[in-house]
């Protein structure tokens, strides 16, 4: 089973180059629009097809997209149209999933801190809920109307260990997620919860994402499968009918290739848990980053360059506000950077060691440290590859910097230069009026009447 797969059609880098050139020509990137995000619509469809193909031989699979990875309604609508469901973890994500057109029956609500109102709404709509704790099972029991159509499951923590990025590993001994199966007495309490509540029909586990190997992910799924078998055997009936195996396929940020592939992931699961695929359990997946990351990029104008301590620094408009993880954890979240000229064409020439920095007003706002790139100059553009998930879709409002515009694109051609590129708006750039409104401008005088002492 191949571990690596090339992108279908023109290479990803060629499609990006065509999109950058046309975006600059169309004014989507430039002096008045110095940073923007871009989503490759054809690439998204290809990634969804690869996931569906990897599980095609298995009946009853629901593939959901983790909305947090790209919380943009047009992107979610594209995924819904491609046959995906949606995994959500907040009232806001549930709202945009519904706005994007997902039927409640293909929406899964996960969160370690669901409120009573969130649970009531989910039960009324008929979305699937995965309880994150035994206490939440009791809360659902007190709120669940008789005959509620929602599938209800319980998230467990198989405690199989950590990947290379601790913050992205959710099956550690002390993870905040799920019921920790290896804690004393916990497994028995989980079995008893299913015995006490016949409406509990699903088990859920998610080992982690970036930094987690296929073997670690498969080990967590295998533990969950064995628990499902144990519960059904203990109860003498097939009460558990579905297993939510989460997502977490890591992404290669080093080059264009897709590795590991969804096919390799499915093969690892078949080796570790062959019974998972025999049709006795409906499977649910919750992939996010692996579907979107390589299908998006950020383009940013180089506003200035300077030299400091013998190194060239390029000051751009892409920084911590849209690449937060990379700025604060550069070793864990490195990004490829590309240099493009003022017309949006890839730059050539001798390589120069340069820092690519962002606009945020703190010293650490550097996207790429000591990177060898063709010499960047004012008016050039920097492209940050593989940023289709968790980057421009979920910006940070540091320094009251506006959210960038996001565009979808499609490239017709072979990526060699004569391509036709079409763009579609996904999200408008945030206006200064919107920033002021979100900053409480409508209540500007509200504090002046507070704290007034008599006689002043």
Q: Is residue 232 part of a domain?
A: yes
Q: Which of 247, 203, 266, 218 is nearest to 69 (CA)?
A: 247
- Compute the residue count for the chain: 456
- Cα 172 to chain centroid distance, Å, stands at 21
- CA distances in angstroms from 330 to 165, 320, 324, 336, 346, listed in the order given: 12, 11, 10, 11, 24
In this structure, the answer to whether residues 49 and 132 fall within a common structural domain is: yes
Count of structural domains within the chain: 2
Domain boundary among 273, 288, 303: 288
In this structure, the answer to whether residues 375 and 315 fall within a common structural domain is: yes
Per-residue pLDDT at 451: 74
Q: Is residue 32 part of a domain?
A: no
List the pLDDT tens digit at each of the 456 positions of the chain: 555 554 444 457 899 999 999 999 999 999 999 999 999 999 999 999 999 999 999 988 999 999 999 999 999 999 999 999 999 999 999 999 999 999 999 999 999 999 999 999 999 999 999 999 999 999 999 999 998 999 999 999 887 767 676 766 676 777 777 888 888 999 999 999 999 999 999 999 988 777 778 888 888 899 999 999 999 999 999 999 999 999 989 899 999 999 999 999 999 999 999 999 999 999 999 999 999 999 999 999 999 999 999 999 999 999 999 999 999 999 988 999 999 999 999 999 999 999 999 999 999 999 999 999 999 999 999 999 999 999 999 999 999 999 999 999 999 876 555 568 999 999 999 999 999 999 999 999 999 989 766 555
In this structure, the answer to whether residues 250 and 351 fall within a common structural domain is: no
Per-residue pLDDT at 361: 97
Cα angle 86, 91, 92; round to 5: 75
Q: Is residue 388 part of a domain?
A: yes
Q: Provide the 8-state DSSP code for 264.
A: H
Strand 200-204 to 242-244 pairing: parallel
Q: Is residue 314 part of a domain?
A: yes
In this structure, the answer to whether residues 284 and 402 fall within a common structural domain is: no
Residue with tokens 């590309």: 338
Q: Cβ distance 314 to 305 under 8 Å?
A: yes
Q: Cβ distance 286 to 246 under 8 Å?
A: yes
Domain boundary among 254, 288, 322: 288
In this structure, the answer to whether residues 269 and 308 fall within a common structural domain is: no
For the chain, first and last CA: distance in Å? Answer: 78
CATH number of the structural domain spanning residue 397? 2.40.37.10
Omega within 30 of 0 (cis) for the link into 178: no
Is the pTM here over 0.85, yes or no?
Answer: yes
In this structure, the answer to whether residues 58 and 87 fall within a common structural domain is: yes
**325: region left, alpha or beta (phi > 0 left; psi from -120 to 50 alpha):** alpha
In this structure, the answer to whether residues 245 and 132 fall within a common structural domain is: yes
Q: Which of 340, 323, 254, 292 is nearest to 16 (CA)?
A: 340
CATH number of the structural domain spanning residue 256? 3.20.20.10
Q: Cβ distance 121 to 144 under 8 Å?
A: no
Residue 256, both tokens: 């264009």
Q: Is residue 241 part of a domain?
A: yes
Q: Provide the 8-state DSSP code for 255.
A: S
In this structure, the answer to whether residues 360 and 399 fall within a common structural domain is: yes
State the number of CA atoms in the 13 A half-sphere of 387 facing the CB: 31
Coil, strand or helix: which one is 404? Answer: coil
Per-residue pLDDT at 269: 94
Per-residue pLDDT at 176: 78
Q: Is residue 413 part of a domain?
A: yes
């Amino acid at each position: 089973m191949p571990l690596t797969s090339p992108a279908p059609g023109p290479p990803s880098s060629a499609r990006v180059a065509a999109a950058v050139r046309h975006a600059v020509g169309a004014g989507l990137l430039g002096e008045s629009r110095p940073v923007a995000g871009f989503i490759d619509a054809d690439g998204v469809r290809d990634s969804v097809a690869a996931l569906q193909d990897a599980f095609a031989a298995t009946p009853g699979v629901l593939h959901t997209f983790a909305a947090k990875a790209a919380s943009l309604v047009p992107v979610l609508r594209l995924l819904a149209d491609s046959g995906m469901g949606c995994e959500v973890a907040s009232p806001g994500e549930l709202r945009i999933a519904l706005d994007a057109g997902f039927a409640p029956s293909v929406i899964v609500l996960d969160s370690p801190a669901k409120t009573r109102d969130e649970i009531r709404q989910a039960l009324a709509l008929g979305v699937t809920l995965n309880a994150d704790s035994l206490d939440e099972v009791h809360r659902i029991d007190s709120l669940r109307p008789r005959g509620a159509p929602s599938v209800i499951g319980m998230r467990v923590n198989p405690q199989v260990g950590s990947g290379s990025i601790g913050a992205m590993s959710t099956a550690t001994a002390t993870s905040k997620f799920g019921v920790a199966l290896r804690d004393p007495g916990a497994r028995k309490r989980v079995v008893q919860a299913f015995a006490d509540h016949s409406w509990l029909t699903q088990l859920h586990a998610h080992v982690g994402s970036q930094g987690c190997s296929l073997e670690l992910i498969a080990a967590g799924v295998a533990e969950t499968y064995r628990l499902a078998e144990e519960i059904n055997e203990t109860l003498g009936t097939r009460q558990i009918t579905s297993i939510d195996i989460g997502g977490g396929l890591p992404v290669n940020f080093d080059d264009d290739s897709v590795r590991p592939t969804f096919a390799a992931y499915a093969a690892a699961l078949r080796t570790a848990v062959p019974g998972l695929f025999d049709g006795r359990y409906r499977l649910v997946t919750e992939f996010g980053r692996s579907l979107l990351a390589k299908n998006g990029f950020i383009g940013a104008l180089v506003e200035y360059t300077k030299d400091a301590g013998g190194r060239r620094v390029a000051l751009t408009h892409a920084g911590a506000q849209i690449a937060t993880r990379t700025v604060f954890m550069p070793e864990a979240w490195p990004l490829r950077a590309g240099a493009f000229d003022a017309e949006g064409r890839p730059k050539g020439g001798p390589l120069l060691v340069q820092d690519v920095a962002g606009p945020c007003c703190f010293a650490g706002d550097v996207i790429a440290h000591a990177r060898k790139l063709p010499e960047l100059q004012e008016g050039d553009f920097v492209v940050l590859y593989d940023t289709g998930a968790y980057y421009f879709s979920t910006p940070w409002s540091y320094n009251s910097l506006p959210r960038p515009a996001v565009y979808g694109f499609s490239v017709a051609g072979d990526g060699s230069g004569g391509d036709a590129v079409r763009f579609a708006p996904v999200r408008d750039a945030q206006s200064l009026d919107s920033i002021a409104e979100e900053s409480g401008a409508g209540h500007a005088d509200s504090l002046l009447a507070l704290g007034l002492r008599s006689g002043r």
